[in-house]
Structure 1
Amino acid sequence: MKKILLTLLLTFLTSINSFSQEKVTWHTDANAALQLAIKENKKVMFFFTGSDWCGWCIKLQKEVFRTDDFKEWSTEVILIELDYPRRTAQTDEIKAQNNQLQQMFGVKGYPAVHFVNVEKLDNGKMNLYSLGKTGYVRGGPNKWLEVANSILEKAI
């Protein structure tokens, strides 16, 4: 009887642990992610970060982006991470893509979060319509999500 209860308890704890470890999907290929946003009719969130050196970026990741609240919220948007690391290697293609988007959005500091709506044109090109931007917001996931939702609600 003890073995059965112990087995059931371990199974239960393992299932809870595996559920909480589900990750948020961050895309690094902006073009593919934008195509997905068009296909799924979703808005896009660009996260400009210095993942291995920017203290506020790391804080935003830890306090907001790695929470269950954010994970649940993020199903409504396509997430694109544009990283500018100092110690982590990147391909030349990713560096070029990230630099082009940094210039396009006028990002001068990190973290920067830009929300856009994507429209596919008849010629196959895409238009990005800025909905708003934010960065680190004090107060944890609820405060950050409040700001993000206010930006997205303006677009409706």
Structure 2
Amino acid sequence: MKKISLLFVLFFGMQLVQSQELKWHTDVKEAITVGNTENKPLMMFFTGSDWCGWCIKLQKEVLLTPEFAKWAKENVILVELDYPRRTPQTPELKQQNGELQQAFGIQGFPTIYFATAKTTDGKVNFEGLGSTGYVAGGASAWLAVANGILKKT
């Protein structure tokens, strides 16, 4: 029993460490700058982190896996746009996230929107590449959908 418990702790500890290595931007302007510098699209994760069951399920099954972490580092700039009910946010963050939700027509959570962006004369212009949400089948199934969206570009 001790061996099983130890293996369980090690496995989930490795997943936690792997997920912590990823940089999730909350400032979209910063993410745009990084994306343009690294020539990578943004992966914008619209989530209700403290209330949305499907968002939490997507996190556990995909976004916190080593397979996703490896893929994300190679392919995208991660942006978390959170709409929590209990977790406090700054007025600036709420405004930014609300504007992006409206701009992309986000009506449900989770929604993951892939886009590139350029800032011209102080205005941000997004080019949408595609979107997805929760996909049954774990990380490999979700990554197949994401790769299909990114390959269209």
- TM-score above 0.5: yes
Match of 1:149?
A: 147
Q: Does structure 2 retain, via aligned residues, the 8 Å contact 1:117–1:131?
A: yes
- Percent identical residues: 53
Say if 2:97 is the partner of 1:101.
no
Q: What is the CA distance between 1:25 and its match in structure 2?
A: 1.2
Once the two structures are superposed, residues 119-145 of structure 1 have per-residue CA deviations (whole angstroms, 9 ceiling, x without a partner) of 343x35432100000000000000000
Once the two structures are superposed, residues 46-81 of structure 1 have per-residue CA deviations (whole angstroms, 9 ceiling, x without a partner) of 000000000000000000000000000001210000
Candidates 32, 56, 59, aligned match of 1:58 = 56
Please give the TM-score of this superposition, normalised by the length of structure 2.
Answer: 0.85
5+ residue gaps, structure 1: 1-13
Once the two structures are superposed, residues 92-124 of structure 1 have per-residue CA deviations (whole angstroms, 9 ceiling, x without a partner) of 000000000000000011000000022343x35
Distance of 1:18 and 1:132 partners within structure 2: 31
- Does the C-alpha gap of structure 1 residues 154 and 62 become closer, same or farther in structure 2, counting only changes over 3 Å? same
SS at match of 1:21: helix
Match of 1:118?
A: 117
- Give the aligned CA root-mean-square deviation in angstroms: 1.7
Please give the TM-score of this superposition, normalised by the length of structure 1.
Answer: 0.84
Q: Larger Cα Rg: Structure 1 or Structure 2?
A: 1
Distance of 1:31 and 1:20 partners within structure 2: 27
